[in-house]
Structure 1
């Protein structure tokens, strides 16, 4: 009796494990941003011109104007250039976060981001990788600026460097998440300049980046003091300022981590195709 014919099994492609799939997506998204940055060395120079100009000119011109009293976290008098460094590190992260937001708007308008959003990958992972890429770029630029400030005489004990690096990463994550959230609501490149004016400059100047908050209290500007206390950028700067002297501020860490989570969730909500810009 003849045996029934059987068809050989087909060698169907096996889906890669989730960890391998995420690793490939991480390398694609983060690697793309890093490669773009490394292929454009002028981006690093343009990112450092502004804080270096403030550091060199303002530290010399206002050294005797802004006397920094002995206030936490400082236990002794410090030079004004040492006081400025955490604020200028925050400036680097703030402008890079807005640059990442502009890149998101450009990629979405030109079609690259739209293609990425249709990839077989959970949208939360994609936005998390974009957030990680923006954070890495900010930390890289901040590290270069800090090395230059160190060469100009702003020294930090080596034992405090790991804590400072962690504080820099947390501040960079906060501002990258803010830029990610703004990219949801900025739909055209032409509107981005106005958004920068309404976000970057108020956040930077209404903060202790260039002068201590007790100066505002001393001058009677109570409303500016309250705005500065509610400014997330203030706490990002304070986290780095306390870390430079080896101290810890629980309130600022809580604000930085909490606002980072809120901004990322808002961005994730905005990029949801059922609610965000895709539906509109």
Structure 2
């Protein structure tokens, strides 16, 4: 009887060691890719400095707040979205190079190994998003300064990072080769981003008569991730946005685990590749 708790403790320690190893590997790899960090920051900063400046006169009156302040949560979502999809590319690359096969043969439950990868992706996404927010503040974007609202927005940011990372995991199941990555992402990143409230309010879409865009944006999980961050930042009730984000996170991760099951997704891909 006394041996079972000891085995459980060793198992928990082994699982946490695997989590630390995967997270540290991703952080180390990212630290050696300076261009990746620069591209992650330059893209939203250009939108903030150029796009917001061009639309400020028109948008400020209708939004009743500065447009650059309005779109910061949407641009944070852009950082999270692109990094989540970047993790999908990393998974495909590791699968082709054999590193993913090595990881998934570790004596740990496969969902835990994928969860470790997801945590590493979400941490990198959150760090890049916070770096962007710091730069936005430096260039004069006046975000609300209430610390309690900021903590709620940080929680929303982490949940969005996990959801989009889980989506990246799910997509990596279906992307067979690196050559197919760019085409697949064009059908995911841009529709998900532009058919959302990242750049304009949902109500304006409905008022302008763009009903089909309004309906798609309303059902888009990325919309709910952005709205949760935006409303949390201002201390407003996010409604059902947290439940949509957390529900999509659970759904995407469950489907990714199912896809990486040896009898279904990744295992079958490995067998065909080995054949």
- Partner residue in 2 for 1:256: 245
- TM-score, structure 1 length as denominator? 0.90
The one of 144, 151, 158 aligned to 2:146: 158
The one of 60, 71, 79 aligned to 1:92: 79
Q: Which has the larger radius of gyration?
A: 1
| Rounded Cα–Cα distance in structure 1 between residues aligned with 2:37 and 2:146 | 25
Q: C-alpha root-mean-square deviation of aligned residues, in Å?
A: 1.5
Gaps of 5+ in 2: 1-6, 270-275
What SS does the corresponding residue of 1:275 show, helix, strand or coil? coil
1:93–1:171 contact (8 Å) kept in structure 2: yes
- Partner residue in 2 for 1:137: 124
The one of 58, 65, 80 aligned to 1:65: 58
| Rounded Cα–Cα distance in structure 2 between residues aligned with 1:103 and 1:41 | 16
| Count of aligned positions | 261
Gaps of 5+ in 1: 1-13, 71-76
What SS does the corresponding residue of 1:193 show, helix, strand or coil? helix
- Cα distance change on mapping 1:56 and 1:111 into 2, 3 Å: same
Q: Deviations over 1:228-267 (max 9, x none)?
A: 0000000000010011101231311110000000000000
| Rounded Cα–Cα distance in structure 1 between residues aligned with 2:200 and 2:32 | 36
* C-alpha displacement of 1:149: 1.2
| Rounded Cα–Cα distance in structure 1 between residues aligned with 2:84 and 2:24 | 17
Residues 1:173 and 2:162 are matched in the alignment: yes
* C-alpha displacement of 1:222: 0.4
Residues 1:225 and 2:218 are matched in the alignment: no
Q: Deviations over 1:11-61 (max 9, x none)?
A: xxx997011101210111111001111222222111111100000001111
- Partner residue in 2 for 1:33: 26
Q: Deviations over 1:156-212 (max 9, x none)?
A: 223221111111101111110100100000010011001110000000000111111
Q: Deviations over 1:75-113 (max 9, x none)?
A: xx2100000100000000000000000000000011000
| Rounded Cα–Cα distance in structure 1 between residues aligned with 2:212 and 2:20 | 46
More helix by share: 2
| Rounded Cα–Cα distance in structure 2 between residues aligned with 1:179 and 1:35 | 20
